[in-house]
Chain A
Amino acid sequence: MSDIVLETKDLGISFGGLHAVQNLNLKIRKRQLYGLVGPNGAGKTTVFNMLTGVYAPTTGSFYLEGEELTGKKQEIINHKGIARTFQNIRLFNNMSVIRNVMVGLHNQPEFKCNPFTSMFRLPGYYKSEKKMRERAKEILRIFNLEDERNNLSCNLPYGKQRKLEIARALATNPKLLLLDEPAAGMNPHETEDLMNIIRYIRDNFDMTILLIEHDMKFVSGLCDEVTVLNFGTMLAQGTPAEALNDPEVIKAYIGG
């Protein structure tokens, strides 16, 4: 039981009369790569928004390693260990690449430094700043972005921006990483590269990853388990091969 990282119980949200997500039950185990798929408008990103505190669920609850986080604020949920990326990239565009990652490191207890220490540059400032920079470089190295670290993040090509967003989320030291369409807009070569990076993160950081993706080759090549959503309800759950060949799922995608 203890190796379950995220558990949702009958999680649901409705906006007025629209039931965007209903009765979602997920159980994600440690070091699992979990896929969330479904046609457009199925409510996948809404699930992410609930899990990160952007929306408060109207029904049900969810637990991170047994601790209930339903309805908590976004920053609290992030402190507890859920980090995410966004479907439409949301980087800090006017900041350099390394500073983007350093913003992610902001809440790590090891880099604690109160505003007055930094205002008057007391010794603690230099120590924590140096450690943060080193740590950010290490993270960027994983994503092969170390050479770009002093460029403005808005000047990076699309694929690298996606990677940077993952790097930034990883910097918050999460227990569960939510990736919203990480491979969108990438060419096959970049997608391949990204798959390797995601595996690398899982292996080296003992990370559990929940991802939304439309690229079925990506999902079936990477994920251990998937859940298919349609109109806010679960259609199928299981290994990619099982779930994606479910007749209901094929019907939802192709119509019929």
Chain B
Amino acid sequence: MGNLKTKRSSFKLHHHINWIIAAVALVLVVILSFADALGRSDVSLLNRVAYSIILAVSLNLVVGFLGELSLGHAGFMCVGAYIGCYIANYLNSVIDSPVLVLIITMFVGGLVAAFFGFIIGLPALRLKGDYLAIATLAFGEIVRNIFKNLPYFGGAKGLIVNKIFSSTKPTLLIISFIVVLITLVVTQNLIRSKHGRAITAIRDNEIAAKAMGINVTYYKLFVFVFAAFFAGVAGVLYGHQTTPVMYSFFSYNYSIEILVMVVLGGMGNITGSILAATLITYVNFVLQNELTGNLAALKLLIYAIILIVVVLFNNAPVFRPIKEKLNFRRIFERKHSPERIKDDAAAWDRVPTKIQMDELLSVDVTPTNYEPDKSSKDGGDD
């Protein structure tokens, strides 16, 4: 045990790929920023990428691994951003070090968001599928309207955040990527443990999970709170980068955009979430900067077309041979050993959320054929 050779042979790249990606990104960011190679817009883009990854990965835990559809992720981010930045404005005058202020506010913002996750999750997680989606959606809207109407938080003008980081130094950017790395490592570790197995088991078959003695309510709430915490942290990072913090940013649309990142990357596929978050943020950024003036109207159109193409590429059978060739895991791991332990990634249409999404998007439930959902109650009939 413990000698280098066995360690090397038991090292599985696909188990570690996520944090390796993040670590490489972090190192690159550090090198580039010390070489002064990053312009202002690059820093802004990379910051956006960083908090998008945190949001997508944490939502993936709820939607992809737990199998519950939550449309209120921007709401938790909103709580984190407002509370964290409000406190930062005070701490700023007390504590000298901006890094320390950022770390404290990230914790506070995250914990407050997690607390909201707990409060909302406790009643909402008793709901099933689309009802949960509607409840979380309502939460997101309520939260941002409350902040809009509270004069302490700047009201409709938004919360002005004192700049604690000078825009010439990329400190915020480096901290953001460190947070991304921590998020990935922690999430990954959670998923690859007995708790992660319990969470995935709930997604795959809630009735069987209960019969195996898994406390379903506890795990649902745990994942909800966990994801809300990271959404809050992402909100604080957003707030420090963008001032003023505007309530209008955390709208329904943004929640959906995070969901799109998760779906595009693959349900229960963390690497996919990282790539999709990066891609979508980049596309958004480029479109926003390139299409100015009259062309700005085209932004949404082009964005939609890109999404459709990517989804088709991911799912259409025609592209399967190309995808097999481009499968980067296959390229790295030449030998196809049967020992390989598969990830818990699930096809989108295998996950119950898919069916719920279909129902949600095509509103064709007529009151006559409506039946209360009793599937959780009957464990097979005879």
| A→B interface (CB under 8 Å) | 40-46, 48-49, 52, 54-55, 74-75, 78-79, 83-84, 86-88, 90-96, 99, 102-107, 111, 113, 115, 118-121, 125, 128-129, 132, 150, 152, 168-169, 172, 180, 212
Contact = CB atoms under 8 A, between A and B. Distances in A.
A95 B344 contact: yes
A113 B194 contact: yes
B221 to A, nearest CB: 12
B128 interface: no
Given A45-B381, A45-B382, A119-B190, A106 B204 contact: no
Nearest to B190: A119
A42 B212 contact: no
A78 B378 contact: no
Nearest to B204: A92
Contact of A106 (B190, B203, B212, B347): B212
Given A41-B382, A121-B189, A75 B194 contact: no
Interface of B: 186, 189-190, 193-198, 200-201, 203-205, 207-216, 222, 268, 338-342, 344-347, 350, 377-382
Contacts of B377: 54-55
A25 to B, nearest CB: 20
A95 B194 CA distance: 13
Contact of B205 (A46, A54, A90): A90
Contacts of A168: 212
Given A87-B382, A92-B201, A74 B211 contact: yes
Given A95-B200, A106-B198, A120-B186, A40 B382 contact: yes
Interface centre among A49, A74, A107, A168 (most CB of B within 10 A): A74
A37 to B, nearest CB: 11
A108 B44 CA distance: 49
A118 B194 CA distance: 8
A75 B213 contact: yes
A107 B342 contact: no
Contact of B198 (A52, A83, A103, A129): A103
A86 B379 contact: yes
Contact of B212 (A78, A87, A96, A129): A78
Contacts of B212: 78, 83, 103-104, 106, 168-169, 172
Given A45-B380, A74-B211, A115-B195, A150 B189 contact: no
B208 A91 contact: yes
A159 B379 CA distance: 20
Contact of B194 (A52, A86, A111, A121): A111
Contacts of A125: 189, 193
27 contacts: A45-B380, A46-B381, A54-B379, A74-B211, A78-B213, A86-B208, A88-B380, A91-B205, A92-B201, A92-B208, A92-B209, A93-B205, A94-B345, A94-B350, A95-B204, A96-B342, A99-B200, A103-B201, A103-B214, A105-B194, A106-B214, A118-B190, A118-B193, A125-B193, A132-B194, A152-B342, A172-B212
B177 to A, nearest CB: 20
